[in-house]
Amino acid sequence: DAGVIQSPRHEVTEMGQEVTLRCKPISGHDYLFWYRQTMMRGLELLIYFNNNVPIDDSGMPEDRFSAKMPNASFSTLKIQPSEPRDSAVYFCASSFYRGHEAFFGQGTRLTVV
Amino acid sequence: EDQVTQSPEALRLQEGESSSLNCSYTVSGLRGLFWYRQDPGKGPEFLFTLYSAGEEKEKERLKATLTKKESFLHITAPKPEDSATYLCAVQFTGGGNKLTFGTGTQLKVEL
């Protein structure tokens, strides 16, 4: 397996624009997580899914952020409208079952100017 | 409030100089404690999971231990390739599958 695949690797956008980050989890994994990493706050969980259903979105900063998982092999994280404070590295991770270790993708570095 | 604290923030070692990294936690009920390694520009890479006090896991030069309040990552005779940021994370009772991460220890091993 190629591991968790994220795209794009880098994204630079202007304030106010819509941004969509994409993730393909490891085949067979039934948990998918979206994290954000910044120097100030470290790694923060935004939302996670189990069997394509959102379980906990308490980490989503505000209504500008939304996440979907239309099927077991694809998820998106959308920011609309984007703001400079959204600049961070966004990671997607997946795991096999409850309590098991999560495997991370390479991340998407988002810069909002 | 559930918290994870790692120390030191940064550590510089000479090659072969053994040391330990600390992860202390205050959670209502620990389901698991995870150690990850993160290299610059990459996602965290899983190292170990510990579930109960007294448990130990080893992998090459790394050994992780767990007590009721903290975990240690011992690095024996480190090499430059061990340089990375080491992250600790916990899953706690009532937190579902959520991982709460510490801010990490940035380790640099010099020749």
CB contact (8 A) between residue A104 and residue B45: yes
CB contact (8 A) between residue B96 and residue A56: yes
Please give the DSSP secondary-structure letter assigned to residue A40.
T
Question: Does the CB of B54 have a partner CB in chain A at under 8 Å?
Answer: no
Read off the pLDDT of each residue in A8-35 and give the average, rounded to a whole number.
Answer: 96
> What whole-number distance in Å separates Cα of residue B54 and Cα of residue A81?
49
Please write the tens of the pLDDT for every residue from B52-68.
999 999 999 999 999 99
The reported pLDDT for the residue numbered A83 is 97
Q: Do B9 and B88 form a contact (C-beta atoms < 8 A)?
A: no
Query: CA-CA-CA-CA torsion for A26, B104, B25, A47, nearest 10 degrees?
Result: -40
> What whole-number distance in Å separates Cα of residue B60 and Cα of residue A74?
35
Question: Does the CB of B101 have a partner CB in chain A at under 8 Å?
Answer: yes
CB contact (8 A) between residue A105 and residue B43: yes
Position B97 confidence tier, pLDDT thresholds 50, 70, 90? confident
The reported pLDDT for the residue numbered B28 is 76
pLDDT for residue A98 is more than 90: no
pLDDT for residue A1 is more than 70: no
CB contact (8 A) between residue B97 and residue A31: yes
Question: Does the CB of B7 have a partner CB in chain A at under 8 Å?
Answer: no
Position A81 confidence tier, pLDDT thresholds 50, 70, 90? very high
pLDDT for residue B2 is more than 80: no
Give the contacts of B96 (CB within 8 A, at least 6 positions apart). A48, A55, A56
pLDDT for residue B94 is more than 90: no
Please write the tens of the pLDDT for every residue from A24-41.
999 999 999 999 999 888
Arithmetic mean of pLDDT over chain B: 93
Read off the pLDDT of each residue in A72-94 and give the average, rounded to a whole number.
Answer: 97
> What whole-number distance in Å separates Cα of residue A75 and Cα of residue A34?
9
Chain A hits for B101, Cβ within 8 Å: 42-44
Chain B hits for A106, Cβ within 8 Å: 41-43
Question: Does the CB of B57 have a partner CB in chain A at under 8 Å?
Answer: no
